[in-house]
């Protein structure tokens, strides 16, 4: 009875935050910064169209729904991700989830994201025919370091939270009369999430709130983080028409997404796993100007998994994501 009441209270709180913040986010449409926090990190998730809200048992769930780490099947799960985004922006991320008491007291997770924007030529306003002069070459970058916690409150209901320090450095500015100023902004942000196993076959649903924080500024320009709300469902389709399958599965996932800085859209993903070893994945993301369909595959053996995702772009170079995961 106590656990049931706790689940109800947590669900009501998260639903209230979702509704209240959704109304608020409508007033801030297209006014968010730190957009690197909106780019998916995990190759498996990317191949499934980022429909990852209800996926459990992986440390990379910290980048999507922190409740997903609550049921990692091993003592430690480690993942590393790498890809080159549009405009040669390089993303490197790492996550680890530790389950020292078999879930009795919850699971602890750590996440790290590092973004390298490459080298840019600095300029400064000057009284010459060009109107400017070149200054030094600088390398803008960003980082996010987070600590997460997930716990199963009942056999069906799990919750999770993720607090992270986020910072971005955009080089230096030379201000006449004031000297040189470093352009650095940082803030503490929070992610929350839940996942509920309905008990009907393998059908699950979940929700997440990501990048909740106070407003921050570069100089006098204030902006919000890319606050994002997701509600998702998933199920193994074979449970409905091939219930005796043990070595094969066909996971189908669906997310409805409400971001602060973009119109609502949906994510749809599928994953077919053959003999618990080889996976083929397809995904679809609606409402995007440059991309929609995604694809990828994964190979898993002896606790080691290698995942690849392909995201074709119209005007930019196609994106290839790679993830390496190990559990023991």
Please list, in sequence order, all residues whose beta carbon lies within 8 angstroms of the beta carbon of residue 33, skipping any fewer than 6 positions away.
168, 185, 216, 218, 223, 224, 225, 226
pLDDT in tens, 52-87: 999 999 999 999 999 999 999 999 999 999 999 998
CATH of the domain at 288: 2.40.160.60
CA 243 to mean position of chain CA atoms: 32
Report the greatest alpha carbon distance in the chain. 77
Q: How many CB atoms lie within 10 A of CB 324?
A: 14
Asked whether the beta carbons of 146 and 163 are under 8 A apart, the reply is: yes
Torsion of CA 201, 240, 43, 105, to 10 degrees: 10
> What is residue 313's DSSP assignment?
-
Check residue 32 and give its pLDDT: 83
Could you tell me the residue range of the domain that residue 198 belongs to?
2-327
Strand locations in the chain, DSSP E?
Answer: 76-84, 90-98, 107-116, 120-125, 132-138, 141-152, 157-175, 179-197, 204-212, 216-218, 221-223, 228-236, 249-259, 265-274, 278-285, 293-301, 304-311, 319-327
As a whole number of angstroms, the distance between CA 262 and CA 274 comes to 37
As a whole number of angstroms, the distance between CA 58 and CA 223 comes to 32
Per residue of the chain (328 residues), give pLDDT as tens: 544 544 454 454 445 444 444 444 444 455 688 999 999 999 999 999 999 999 999 999 999 999 999 999 999 999 999 999 998 999 999 999 999 988 789 999 999 999 999 998 888 788 888 888 888 888 999 999 999 999 999 999 999 999 999 999 988 776 766 777 788 899 999 999 999 999 999 999 999 999 999 988 877 778 899 999 999 999 999 999 888 888 899 999 999 999 988 889 999 999 999 999 999 999 999 988 889 999 999 999 988 999 999 999 988 999 999 999 999 8
As a whole number of angstroms, the distance between CA 233 and CA 151 comes to 19
Sign of CA dihedral 281, 286, 288, 292: positive
Check residue 154 and give its pLDDT: 93
Question: How many structural domains does the chain have?
Answer: 1
pLDDT in tens, 30-51: 568 899 999 999 999 999 999 9
């Amino acid at each position: 009875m106590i656990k049931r009441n706790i689940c109800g209270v947590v669900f009501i709180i998260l639903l209230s935050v979702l509704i209240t913040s959704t109304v608020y986010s409508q007033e801030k449409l297209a006014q968010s910064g730190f957009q690197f926090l909106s780019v998916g990190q995990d190759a498996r998730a990317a191949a499934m169209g980022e429909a990852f809200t209800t996926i459990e048992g992986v440390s990379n769930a910290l980048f999507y729904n922190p409740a997903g780490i609550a049921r990692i099947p091993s003592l430690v799960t480690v993942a590393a991700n790498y890809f080159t985004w549009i405009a040669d922006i390089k993303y490197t991320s790492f996550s680890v989830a530790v389950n020292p008491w078999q879930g009795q007291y919850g699971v602890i997770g750590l996440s790290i994201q590092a973004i390298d924007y490459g080298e840019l030529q600095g300029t400064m306003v000057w009284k010459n025919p060009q109107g400017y002069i070149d200054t030094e070459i600088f390398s803008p970058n960003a980082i996010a370091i987070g600590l997460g916690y997930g716990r199963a409150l009942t056999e069906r209901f799990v919750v999770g939270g993720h607090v992270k320090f986020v910072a971005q450095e955009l080089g230096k500015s030379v201000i006449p009369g004031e000297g040189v100023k470093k352009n650095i902004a940082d803030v503490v942000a929070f992610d929350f999430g839940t996942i509920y196993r309905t008990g009907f076959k393998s059908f699950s649903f979940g929700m997440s709130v990501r990048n909740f924080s106070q407003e921050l500024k570069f100089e006098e320009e204030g902006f919000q983080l890319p606050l994002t709300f997701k509600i998702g469902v998933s199920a193994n389709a074979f449970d409905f028409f091939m219930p005796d399958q043990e070595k094969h599965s066909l996971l189908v996932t669906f997310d409805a997404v409400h971001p602060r800085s973009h119109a609502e859209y949906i994510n749809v993903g599928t994953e077919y796993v053959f003999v618990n070893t080889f996976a083929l994945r397809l995904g679809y993301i609606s409402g995007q100007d440059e991309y929609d369909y995604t694809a990828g595959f994964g190979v898993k053996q002896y606790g080691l998994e290698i995942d690849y995702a392909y995201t074709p772009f119209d005007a930019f170079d196609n994106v290839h994501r790679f993830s390496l995961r190990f559990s023991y």
